[in-house]
Amino acid sequence: MSGIVWLFKPLWAFIKQRFDCYAEDRCSEFNRQTGLVSMAQGKKKIPLVAPFIEFDGYVERVVQRGGVFYKLMLVHRYTGKEFHHTSFS
Could you report the per-residue pLDDT of 34-46, keeping only the tens digit for each? 999 888 777 777 8
With beta carbons less than 8 A apart as the criterion, state whether 38 and 28 touch: yes
Q: Coil, strand, or helix at residue 52?
A: helix
Higher per-residue pLDDT: 87 or 30 = 30
pLDDT at 89: 47
The model scores a pTM over 0.75: no
DSSP H/E element including 17? helix 12-25
Higher per-residue pLDDT: 35 or 20 = 35
Cα separation, 23 vs 43, in Å, equals 10
Cα separation, 50 vs 48, in Å, equals 6
Could you report the per-residue pLDDT of 44-85, keeping only the tens digit for each? 778 888 898 998 888 888 888 888 888 888 888 998 888 876
- The parent domain of residue 79 ranges over 2-88
Domain count, the chain: 1
pLDDT at 13 over 60: yes
